Amino acid sequence: MAKIHTLPCIVCLNCYGKSKRADEAHHLESVRGQHSDFATVPLCHDCHTGLHGASRRGFCLAHKLDDVKMLAWTIELLGAA
C-alpha cells in the first residue's frame, strides 16, 4: 500500500494529462466488507470523492473508466517506478 501513495492520481494523469498527487487509495473490490490491498489504485481526493459520489457509474462513464483499466494503469506505473 505504501507504494500506491507514491504514485500520481491515475485519473488525472490518464484522462487530463496532469500529474496530481494521489492522496488516497481506492479499493476496487471488497469481500464481505473487507478490502483487499492488492486491488487498489491511486486517486487524488477529488477523484476519489467523485468516484464514491452520487453515481460511481456516471463517474466511470464520464472518464471512460472501468476497474480493469484503472488497475492496468496502476500496474504500469508500479512497473515504471
C-alpha dist (Å) from residue 53 to 4, 23, 59:
22, 17, 8
Number of domains in the chain: 1
> For residue 57, what pLDDT is reported?
85
Q: Which domain holds residue 66?
A: 4-80
> For residue 28, what pLDDT is reported?
83
**The three grid cell numbers given for residue 71, joined into one nine-digit string:** 488497475
For residues 57 and 33, give the distance between their C-alpha atoms in angstroms, rounded to a whole number: 20
81 residues of the chain, pLDDT tens digit each: 788 889 999 999 999 999 999 999 998 876 556 777 778 999 999 999 998 886 788 888 999 998 899 999 999 999 886
> For residue 53, what pLDDT is reported?
83
